[in-house]
């Protein structure tokens, strides 16, 4: 459906590459990122309606400067070069790029010199975002300079005949005021793309694809209750019904009452093949006296595999495993090293396919988290499940710093539940990317009534983010934090001090372990 009506982004290592694809998908157009070394024959097979060459940190003069197969320009497919992409076009077509001593970074005013399809209806003097070291001093022959800035004589150019366009600024970032319009001009006026990348179209095509792939085999899915696995379960169930076997492993390390709520939601709303396995005692016994976070992760991963494998072995004719792999897992960024582009690959859950010799079905490997949520809404999953904050695979074990015991788990579950409940009551939950509590291996002196106490310290963590790669701490009103702190200390035995984490990512991570 989307492959023949899509945009291909060839990446040269820009920090903004993912943003290009997000902006295009916001216009209901499918786009995908591939490294600059993506073979020419595969480009031809994809038959994209447009090609975008991303920016990058290198100079076209660098010894190991990234290159492009020039045959791409002979396909009669519109090409848009951004920043490094534009400089590469200039070099390949005989223009002049000059190494600059001063890197231009930040806002500039766009001076439109001539009418151009790429800048149609773009306001003259609007702000654009620059991020480049080299500058183009002379456009190639048959290329028309259509815009400049105070410091950049060639800020945009075009070759109408060959349908090649270049921008020295980044239209994909919010700082470029008319960036959205420029992207629309490329997609709809220049490439003539039909905006058909919509949840309902995706669902229909993916259901048909899964049916064809699976045939009469049975399929397994580890249903955690998170957004990705929940939406995947409902989508695959629509495709193959009772051939799908969902296994929910209760590790005992989830939030308060979470396992029961997950199972109840799916049993009440969807007629799934769902097996609920309570393995909480096994997980806790294996975690006894383990304090190292990496060791915790390994133990939890192995225990999950053991439990899942045992349940899976009871089901016949299983040939596939469903995973909720997302696009950022597949290619978080194309990190450029020399002339090779290394794509970060997703680590399969617990190594299950290797152990069980199953083929993977990853229905969301082309999607971002917000797109999966849109699919979930289309599939009528309850809003509470669609909007859930991310939750780490090892669960609360990595939010209990130090020894994980039944008592400390209960303390954290209660405190975390109070925090999350208050966020929802106050209408703040949906404004936040992720919020949770962390139990520290520290006891502090307190006073309750007339008695001194020596109990646990708790950290509240709350961040805003788009994709979890960077994050800022959420600025609560002091009254909200005071209310939550008082409620936790009064109601949760074992906590006498609450603090709020005001570190951003980077340098801190979102989770504490």
| 221-238 burial: b if 16+ Cβ within 10 Å, else e | bbbbbbbbbbbbbbbbbb
387 with 381: CB under 8 angstroms?
A: no
Q: The tokens of 164 are what?
A: 């090649």
Burial class (CB in 10 A: 0-12, 13-18, 19+), 158: buried
**CB burial string 403-412: b at 16+ within 10 A, e below:** ebeeebbebb
Contact 69, 26 (CB under 8 A): no
Q: On the CB side of 6, how many CA atoms lie within 13 Å of its CA?
A: 22
Angle CA(233)–CA(231)–CA(473) in degrees, nearest 5?
135
**3-state SS class at 181:** helix
- Placement of tokens 């010894």 in the chain: 63
Is the CA virtual torsion 9, 14, 18, 19 positive or negative? Answer: negative
Kind plus residue range of the DSSP H or E element containing 91: helix 84-92
User: Counting every residue, how long is the chain?
Assistant: 513
Query: What is the rounded end-to-end Cα distance, in angstroms, of the chain?
Result: 42
Q: Decide if 377 contacts 212 (C-beta within 8 A).
A: no
Q: Tell the burial category of 270 from Cβ atoms under 10 Å away from its Cβ (0-12, 13-18, 19+).
A: middle
Cβ count within 10 A of residue 174: 11
From start to end of 332-450, where are the E strands? 334-337, 340-343, 359-361, 434-448
Nearest to 252, CA basis, from 366, 405, 108: 405
Q: Return all residues near 510 (Cβ < 8 A) that are at least 6 apart.
A: 434, 461, 463, 465, 468, 471
Positions marked active-site: 83, 170, 172
Of 467, 448, 461, 205, nearest to 326 by C-alpha is: 467
* 52 beta partners: 9, 80
Cα(480)–Cα(489) distance, integer angstroms: 14
């Amino acid at each position: 459906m989307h492959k023949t009506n899509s945009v291909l982004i060839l990446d040269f290592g820009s920090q903004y590459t993912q943003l290009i694809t997000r902006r295009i998908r916001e216009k209901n157009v499918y786009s995908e990122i591939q490294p600059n070394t993506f073979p020419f024959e595969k480009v031809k097979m994809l038959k994209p309606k447009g090609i975008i060459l991303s920016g990058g940190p290198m100079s076209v003069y660098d010894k190991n400067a990234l290159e492009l197969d020039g045959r791409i320009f002979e396909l009669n497919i519109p090409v848009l070069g951004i920043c490094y992409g534009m400089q590469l076009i200039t070099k390949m077509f005989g223009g002049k790029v000059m190494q600059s001593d001063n890197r231009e970074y930040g806002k500039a005013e766009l001076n439109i010199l001539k009418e151009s399809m790429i800048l149609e209806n773009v306001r003259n003097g609007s702000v654009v975002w620059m991020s480049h070291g080299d500058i183009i001093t002379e456009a190639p022959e048959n290329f028309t300079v259509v815009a400049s800035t105070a410091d950049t004589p060639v800020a945009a150019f075009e070759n109408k005949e060959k349908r090649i366009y270049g921008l020295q600024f980044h239209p994909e970032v919010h700082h470029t005021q008319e960036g959205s319009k420029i992207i629309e001009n490329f997609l709809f006026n220049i490439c003539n793309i039909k905006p058909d990348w919509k949840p309902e179209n995706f669902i229909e095509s993916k259901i048909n694809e899964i049916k064809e792939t699976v045939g009469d085999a049975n399929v397994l899915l580890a249903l955690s209750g998170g957004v990705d696995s929940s939406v995947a379960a409902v989508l695959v169930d629509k495709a193959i019904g009772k051939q799908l076997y969902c296994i929910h492993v209760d590790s005992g390390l989830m939030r308060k009452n979470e396992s029961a709520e997950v199972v109840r939601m799916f049993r009440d709303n969807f007629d799934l093949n769902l097996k609920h396995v309570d393995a909480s005692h096994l997980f806790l016994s294996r975690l006894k006296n383990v304090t190292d976070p990496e060791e915790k992760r390994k133990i939890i991963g192995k225990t999950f595999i053991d439990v899942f494998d045992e349940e899976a072995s009871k089901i016949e004719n299983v040939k596939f495993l469903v995973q909720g792999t997302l696009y950022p897992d597949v290619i978080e960024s194309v990190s450029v090293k020399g002339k090779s582009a290394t794509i970060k690959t997703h680590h399969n859950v617990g190594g299950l396919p290797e152990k069980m010799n199953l083929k993977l079905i990853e229905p969301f490997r082309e999607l971002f988290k917000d797109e999966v949520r849109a699919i979930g809404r289309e599939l009528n999953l309850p809003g509470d499940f669609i909007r859930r904050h991310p939750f780490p695979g090892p669960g609360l074990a990595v939010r209990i710093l130090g020894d994980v015991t039944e008592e400390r788990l209960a303390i954290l579950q209660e405190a975390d539940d109070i925090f999350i409940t208050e966020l929802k009551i106050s209408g703040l939950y949906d404004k936040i990317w992720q919020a949770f509590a962390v139990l520290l291996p520290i006891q502090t002196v307190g006073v309750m009534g007339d008695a001194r106490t020596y109990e646990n310290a708790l950290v509240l963590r709350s961040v805003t983010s788009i994709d979890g790669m960077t994050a800022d701490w959420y600025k609560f009103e002091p009254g909200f934090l005071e209310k939550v702190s008082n409620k936790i200390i009064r109601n949760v035995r074992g906590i006498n001090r609450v603090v709020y984490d005001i570190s951003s990512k980077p340098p801190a991570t979102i989770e504490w372990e």
